[in-house]
Amino acid sequence: MGEEKPTRIVLQNSHQIDPYSLDEAIGVGAYAAIAKIVEEKISPADVIETVKASGLRGRGGAGFPTGLKWSFTATDDQVYVICNADEGEPGTFKDRLILEVDPHRLIEGMMIAGYAVGATVGFVYVRGEYALSIERMSTAVQAARKAGLLGKSILGSGFSFDIEIKKGAGAYVCGEETSLIESIEGKRGYPRLKPPYPGAVGLWDKPTVVNNVETLANVPPILLHGAEWFRSVGTEKCPGTKVYTLLGHVERPGLTEAPMGTKLQDLIETCGGGVKDGKAFKAALIGGAAGAFVCADCLDKPMDFDSLQELSAVLGSGAILVLNEDASIVDLLDGILSFFKHESCGQCVPCRGGTVALKTLSERVRNGTGTLADLDKMIEIAETMQAMSLCPLGQSPILPIQTALRHFRAEFEARLNAAGSAPVA
């Protein structure tokens, strides 16, 4: 091994190179991993083994092992790779930055994924509002094509791969992999029932690998430096780094890349400059709207997929909204439930009706006209949605509701009491 332990992997080239320049990207190592693979004739199976050995887990939210996903992908005359750059989770904009600062890294990650699973075509499904990302990515694809790094028989290897960019139209549910596939096919973005998973039946019914931008951006350095190098940072079960979006009541909001397992307190203090205006920390919402509220007890807990699961929370896309002592959890939860009501695609009844009912109850609590029983009703409805909804969007509201009420029930009760007597039912 003998290589230095990395501190930054994904954002290593951020602001170090001109994102419009292929030469500058090559100067810092772009396309060296794919060149190594084809020149040394490393087999697709060995590429998958290296990614498996690295322990890389998907950064799109669920943390599914990437190498395992690739190994599950069926073989066929046509296989596709999709890079999920929809990024609709509120408070998340990490993928946008990766696309903007290092588009060639992503192209190479997709190429390696394509080589591993036998795909010749890749799609980048990117949030339509990300105009600069789209422009830089398109420029990079054209430059790579012109240089023979995309297209037929790349570097004379016989391996062919090309990339097309598709713009999303702003629906949160289209970040879900099967609705994203429907959307690329030109249909309404309704999620499909799973199984079958995209690895078996995906785009135009062909095997399809869907990976997040950050996941794919980790792949070239893993192939170049090896699995052990990647494992030298992060935790045993969650190796590597995570790109976090740190927002809310911190002195320096923004993006930061830190090793998996970094404590919440360290992220807030070191990366965020501490809680804004010297106020006390009250809570953090981790993982966006579909995430969990955690309180001060969690400040010294490591941030990674498994550690957060032990706390009944989720890492999700890595969005961290820090809330100070003045923040209202009642108002914030109401905003989250407005979001779910707005974004439910309406395909299945539990979510279509449930998101409306949750918003109605939450609004009553928020303006003080509800009852204490409304709080239990919210849990009951969200639990039913969790059990009965067709896709994870409808299964999501339970987590913010449950964690808000677990840690801050007194605040909800106080809101009801402040408006007069809070009847039990």
Give the footprint of ligand FMN on residues 205-244 (CB under 6 A): 210-212, 215
Q: Which is nearer to ligand SF4, 161 or 340 (CB)?
A: 340
Phi-psi map region of 61: left, alpha, beta (phi>0 left; psi -120 to 50 alpha)? left
Distances (CA, A) of 422 to 157, 362, 418, 425: 73, 15, 8, 9
- Note whether 181 binds ligand FMN by CB under 6 A: no
What minimum distance in Å lies between the beta carbon of 54 and ligand FMN?
Answer: 14
Q: Give the x-and-dash track for 53-92 against ligand FMN (CB under 6 A).
A: -----xxxxx-x----x--------------x-xxxx---
Per the DSSP assignment, residues forming a β-bridge with 295 are: 283
Q: Give the x-and-dash track for 109-128 against ligand FMN (CB under 6 A).
A: --------------------
- Note whether 203 binds ligand SF4 by CB under 6 A: no
Distances (CA, A) of 348 to 192, 358, 393: 11, 16, 11
Q: How many Cβ atoms sit within 10 Å of the Cβ of residue 168?
A: 23
Q: Are 320 and 284 in contact (CB under 8 A)?
A: yes
- Note whether 397 binds ligand SF4 by CB under 6 A: no
- Note whether 392 binds ligand FMN by CB under 6 A: yes
Residue closest to 175 by CA, chosen among 396, 402, 411, 407: 396
| Residue 10 near which of ligand SF4, ligand FMN, none (CB within 5-8 Å, type-dependent) | none
What are residue 138's phi and psi, to 5 degrees? -65, -45
- Note whether 175 binds ligand SF4 by CB under 6 A: no
- Note whether 346 binds ligand SF4 by CB under 6 A: yes
Q: Which is nearer to ligand FMN, 159 or 340 (CB)?
A: 340
Q: Which is nearer to ligand SF4, 308 or 398 (CB)?
A: 398
DSSP element (H, E) containing 151:
none
Q: Which is nearer to ligand SF4, 260 or 348 (CB)?
A: 348
Rounded CA-CA distance 144/106 in Å is 12
Residue with tokens 């397992």: 261
Q: Which is nearer to ligand FMN, 87 or 304 (CB)?
A: 87
Residues in the chain: 425
What minimum distance in Å lies between the beta carbon of 200 and ligand FMN?
Answer: 15
What minimum distance in Å lies between the beta carbon of 190 and ligand SF4?
Answer: 6
Rounded CA-CA distance 374/363 in Å is 10
Tell which one of 140, 285, 391, 405 touches ligand SF4 (CB under 6 A). 391
- Note whether 394 binds ligand SF4 by CB under 6 A: yes
Distances (CA, A) of 260 to 101, 172, 236, 273, 304: 22, 26, 9, 19, 5
Rounded CA-CA distance 192/177 in Å is 9
- Note whether 348 binds ligand SF4 by CB under 6 A: yes
Q: Which residues of this chain interact with ligand SF4, rule CB under 6 A?
A: 173, 191, 344-348, 351-352, 389-391, 393-394
